Amino acid sequence: MIRRPKLTEIPVYHPREATPVEIVGDGAISTVGVGDGRMLPVLILGTHGRPDIVEHIRLHQHSGPGDVNVQWGEMREYPDTVMLILSFIRPVQMKVIVAFDLRRNHGFLVEQILSTSGVYIQAGANGDRLKNTMDRPRIVIEIPDTGFRRRWDRLYLQHTVRMLRERGLDRKQAKAAAPEAIAQLREIGAFRMGSTTRRSAPEGDATMEISK
């Protein structure tokens, strides 16, 4: 039995940090010498109104993000959405709440982050694509196991059942089909993020778009 999650107040350093940041683009990148060379998801964040994120990424693109605490969660004001809460502690204190909208297929991104235990974040705006912004600065963040996988599996199953019902399946059919739909998604994700996609030369990056 999975207990209902506890309600926890997340302190912020500035009022603007309380508003989740939207994902405006995504992809994946493998860089020699970073994250053991594994393919990691890239999140392009809509940073309008968050110049602190832009500046932090610019300053730390080569030195790493510093000390970061990672937490997954949900916010009642944002249904069908999962939050990744990044608390930067040193050298600069900053909070970034990244919103994964499951209705925009962001569940795929959550899956990839949980599977690879890492993610790149990059500042951007609506319309940005990874293939067109490869020269932009970005930082990589290690995402440790926080125990969220069990909760996520349940959330994603419930969401998938709802989506299948909206597409015309009855409740029984949707509950039966949902596990297979998720399994197929994970298989596709494993292929895209696996060693067969990591063909970076000794110098440079391998890149790919993973949604949209």
User: DSSP assignment of 32-68, as one string?
Assistant: TTSGGG--EEEEEEE-TT-HHHHHHHHHHTTT---EE
Q: What is the pLDDT of residues 14-34, one digit of tens each?
A: 999 999 999 999 999 986 656
Domain boundaries, the chain: 15-146
Instruction: Give the sign of the dihedral formed by CA 103, CA 192, CA 24, CA 91.
Output: positive
Q: What is the pLDDT of residues 186-201, one digit of tens each?
A: 887 776 666 433 433 3
Count of beta carbons in the 10 Å neighbourhood of residue 164:
19
Cβ neighbours of residue 105 under 8 Å, at least 6 residues apart? 211
- Asked whether 97 and 83 are in contact (CB, 8 A), the reply is yes
Range of lowest pLDDT (5-9, 46-50, 111-115): 5-9
Question: Model-level pTM?
Answer: 0.83
Task: Work out the pLDDT band at 185, boundaries 50, 70, 90.
Answer: confident
Instruction: Quote the DSSP letter at residue 194.
Output: S
Position 4 scores a pLDDT of 57
Position 211 scores a pLDDT of 41
